[in-house]
């Protein structure tokens, strides 16, 4: 049960806002909420162990998430393509026989990255064309197109040109992520594919699509090495003879040789882990990025520690009642439909009663208020102004995501109105307190970086250019 509670609280920490529960029902002085909790005596100077394994796993996770699909152009994909533009002229007056001229300087883009193909961020006309082509990695498509009247095309805007498109990096190589369709066959005493009683190939395993990170040693060696150099598609299907290691988990296959028939369905290039890559996440260097991962892990660990070790003196009745009402309202919106009742929802998801869930949900905010009182933190006017602007920016982004036709100015106006008229002073004050305490907590622990225990399990991508 403890793991379920911690999992819940890590989601709730710094997210559950008491203000939304008791708007206009309480005195907004945070000191009214601080006589309910005892903090752990040793939270100052707490030591947090951060394993290098964890950091390596996080880096690999980021890189896998941003691996780039190269099989075919599908709306929503992040892709690398070679786009080449050329001047076009026509042989007859009907303009039915175009002839390519020279490449257009400045528009001949090699190995171009398009983020979320089809979202129009590069150029809608060209992105839609690539999607329509459905270009496979082994082919190149080209045709005459009219460039949009867009300043990005300079003097060529509005002109007819030849556009050719091809995918890059075709063959599977070490460090790629590939999606594989395969079937495994047993062999007979002659080393040929064994047939069963019905005369069919004796199959022991198959998959319509399994993802492998080549070089991660997550498949048997012969299987993984056999994929290197393969091209995509059914036309490039390949049979690989593979021998299981002597210490393989399955007794049936220890040291046995089999045949795998493999088709590469999709290939993704793993981005180079360098300063350019971490710029995607607003970091200047890999060192800064890794320090942030370590800091975030340590902070979350400290938060978990505070939640687990802090104890209630008594429960704030007014806040309990307000939160209870909020959760009962939630019954009608979701829990009743999905689980029959809110009681069933928290019991199934977190192993708690509704009463335990409410008391647990209040705890993170009470910890912040208690620390604020103990340390005598009082927001300055500058703190309040910063907090207000932070709330406005958050709600501005929410409005922009909710309404596709809204302008930035309109979204900000709506956000200001919401923060000032609905949330009001309480939310701004609470946001300021939380920001002050958040920064303070980060000064109250030391980080002990523990060496990786088993680096063979962790995929730390090569720094070589692909």
pLDDT per residue over 50-98, tens digit each?
A: 888 888 888 888 887 787 766 667 777 777 788 888 888 877 666 667 7
Q: Is the pLDDT of residue 223 over 80?
A: yes
Q: Which CATH architecture has domain 68-167?
A: Roll (3.10)
Domain 177-269 indexed as CATH 3.10.50.40: yes
Whether 384 contacts 429, CB under 8 Å: yes
Q: What percent of the chain has pLDDT over 90?
A: 23
Whether 300 contacts 15, CB under 8 Å: no
Sequence-distant (≥ 6) Cβ neighbours of residue 135 within 8 angstroms: 72, 73, 81, 141, 165, 166, 167
Instruction: Give the pLDDT of residue 93.
Output: 61
Choice between 251 and 139, residue whose per-residue pLDDT is larger: 251
Instruction: Give the pLDDT of residue 461.
Output: 35
Whether 111 contacts 138, CB under 8 Å: no
Torsional class of 351: left (φ above 0), alpha (ψ -120 to 50), beta (otherwise) = left
Sequence-distant (≥ 6) Cβ neighbours of residue 381 within 8 angstroms: none
Q: Which of the four pLDDT bands, split at 50, 70 and 90, describes residue 103?
A: confident
Q: If you write DSSP's letter for every residue of 89-144 in order, what string do you get?
A: EESSTT--SEEEEEEPTTT-EEEEEESSTTSSSS-HHHHHHHHHHT--TT-EEEEE
Of the given ranges (111-115, 189-193, 284-288), which has the lowest mean pLDDT? Answer: 111-115
- 444 class by beta-carbon count within 10 Å (0-12 exposed, 13-18 middle, 19+ buried): middle
d(CA 78, CA 117): 6
Q: Which of the four pLDDT bands, split at 50, 70 and 90, describes residue 366?
A: confident
Determine the Cα angle at 130 with ends 129 and 131, to 5°. Answer: 90
Determine the Cα angle at 431 with ends 381 and 2, to 5°. Answer: 150
Instruction: Give the pLDDT of residue 9.
Output: 36
Q: Is the pLDDT of residue 6 over 60?
A: no
Instruction: Give the pLDDT of residue 2.
Output: 32
Choice between 402 and 330, residue whose per-residue pLDDT is larger: 402
Q: Is the pLDDT of residue 435 over 60?
A: yes
Query: What dotted CATH number matches 2-59+277-450?
Result: 1.10.3120
Cα 84 to the center of its chain, rounded Å: 32
Q: Which of the four pLDDT bands, split at 50, 70 and 90, describes residue 423?
A: confident
Q: Which of 22, 4, 2, 20 is nearest to 317 (CA)?
A: 22
- State the sign of the Cα–Cα–Cα–Cα dihedral 130, 133, 138, 140: negative
DSSP classification of residue 26: S
Considering the entire predicted model, what is its pTM? 0.57
Whether 25 contacts 318, CB under 8 Å: yes
Q: Do domains 68-167 and 177-269 have the same CATH topology?
A: yes
d(CA 358, CA 356): 6
d(CA 328, CA 342): 7
pLDDT per residue over 8-33, tens digit each?
A: 333 333 333 344 433 333 334 455 66
Q: Which of the four pLDDT bands, split at 50, 70 and 90, describes residue 362?
A: confident
d(CA 338, CA 140): 49
List, in sequence order, every residue forming a beta bridge with 84; answer none if it has no partner: 164
Whether 358 contacts 410, CB under 8 Å: no
Average pLDDT of 381-406?
90
Sequence-distant (≥ 6) Cβ neighbours of residue 429 within 8 angstroms: 28, 30, 379, 384, 387
Choice between 348 and 414, residue whose per-residue pLDDT is larger: 414
Rg of the chain, C-alpha, whole Å: 30
Domain map of the chain by residue range?
2-59+277-450, 68-167, 177-269
């Amino acid at each position: 049960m403890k793991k379920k509670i911690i999992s819940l609280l890590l989601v709730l920490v710094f997210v559950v806002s008491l203000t939304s529960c008791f708007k206009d029902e309480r005195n907004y002085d945070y000191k009214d909420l601080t006589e309910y909790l005892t903090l752990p005596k040793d939270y100052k100077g707490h030591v947090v162990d951060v394993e290098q394994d964890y950091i390596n796993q996080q880096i690999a996770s980021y890189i896998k998430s941003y691996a780039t699909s190269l099989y075919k152009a599908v709306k929503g994909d992040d892709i690398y393509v070679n786009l080449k533009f050329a001047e076009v002229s026509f042989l007859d007056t009907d303009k039915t026989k175009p002839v390519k001229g020279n490449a257009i300087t400045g528009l001949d883009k090699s190995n171009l990255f398009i983020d979320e193909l089809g979202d129009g961020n590069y150029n809608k006309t060209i992105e839609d064309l690539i999607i329509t082509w459905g270009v496979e990695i082994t082919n190149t498509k080209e045709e005459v197109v009219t460039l949009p009247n867009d300043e990005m095309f300079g003097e060529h805007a509005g002109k007819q040109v030849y556009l050719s498109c091809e995918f890059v990096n075709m063959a599977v190589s070490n460090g790629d992520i590939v999606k594989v369709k395969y079937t495994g066959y047993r062999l007979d005493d002659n080393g040929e594919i064994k047939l069963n009683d019905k005369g069919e190939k004796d199959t022991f395993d198959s998959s319509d699509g399994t993802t492998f990170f080549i070089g991660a040693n997550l498949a048997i060696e012969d299987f993984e090495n056999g994929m290197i150099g393969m091209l995509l598609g059914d036309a490039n299907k390949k049979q690989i003879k593979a021998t299981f290691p002597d210490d393989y988990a399955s007794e049936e296959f220890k040291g046995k040789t089999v045949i795998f028939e493999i088709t590469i369905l999709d290939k993704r290039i793993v981005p180079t882990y360098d300063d350019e890559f971490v710029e995607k996440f607003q970091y200047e260097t890999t060192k800064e990025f890794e320090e942030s991962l370590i800091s975030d892990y340590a902070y979350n660990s400290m938060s978990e520690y505070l939640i687990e070790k802090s104890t209630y003196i008594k429960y704030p009745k007014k806040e309990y009642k307000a939160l209870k009402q909020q959760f009962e309202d939630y019954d009608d919106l979701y829990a009743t439909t999905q689980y029959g009742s809110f009681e069933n929802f928290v019991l199934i998801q977190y192993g708690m009663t509704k009463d335990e869930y409410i008391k647990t949900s209040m705890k993170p905010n009470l910890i912040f208020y208690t620390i604020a009182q103990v340390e005598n933190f009082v927001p300055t006017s500058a703190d309040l102004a910063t907090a207000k602007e932070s709330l406005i920016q958050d709600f501005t982004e929410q409005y922009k995501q909710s309404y596709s036709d809204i302008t930035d100015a309109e979204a900000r106006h709506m956000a200001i109105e919401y923060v000032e008229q609905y949330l009001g002073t309480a939310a701004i004050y609470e946001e300021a307190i939380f920001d002050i305490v958040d920064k303070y907590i980060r000064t109250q622990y030391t980080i002990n970086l523990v060496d990786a225990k088993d680096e063979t399990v962790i995929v730390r991508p090569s720094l070589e250019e692909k």
